[in-house]
Amino acid sequence: MERRLSERLAEHGLTLPEFRVLSLLRRADGPVPQRDLAGRLNLTAATVSIRLDALEEAGWVRRRPTGAGRALAVELTAAGTARTDEAVHGYLDAQTGLLGGLTGRERSSLGDLLRRLGERLDP
């Protein structure tokens, strides 16, 4: 599954880890503190920093001071928003292809289970 998703994202110049960062920022209401990204993505601060370096170099995110010491907030650029929106379609197409073998009832049950799991992970 991850391989197929990665292939679809590569068509948009993204890796799956980069897409996860961009999609989290896309769903956010405004800039996200960089340290919060690490927690939300379950990654170390160093790993997030490396990913953000690449995304910033590509012009898809920008970091700016929050005014609280050395803390930085991260937000999508217009190009990052557009890239994320384009990539979402490929990502969803790949997921739909993977679920194509399930009946409507099975997809509904899977969706309910995933929603319940998501609620437990992100209360």
Question: How much is the CA Rg of the chain, to the nearest whole Å?
Answer: 16
Interval 2-21 mean pLDDT: 84
Mean pLDDT over 11-20 rounds to: 88
Amino acid at residue number 123: P
Provide the 8-state DSSP code for 39: H
User: Looking at residue 120, what is its pLDDT?
Assistant: 74
**What is the pLDDT confidence band of residue 101, given thresholds at 50, 70 and 90?**
confident
Helix, strand or coil, per DSSP, at residue 33: strand
Q: Which pTM value belongs to this model?
A: 0.74
CA torsion, ordered 28, 30, 34, 40, to nearest 10 deg = -20
DSSP assignment, residue 123? -
Residue 1 binned pLDDT confidence (cut-offs 50, 70, 90): low
d(CA 44, CA 76): 20
Q: Report domain extents, the chain.
A: 2-121
Topology of the domain comprising 2-121: Arc Repressor Mutant, subunit A (1.10.10)
* The amino acid at 2: E
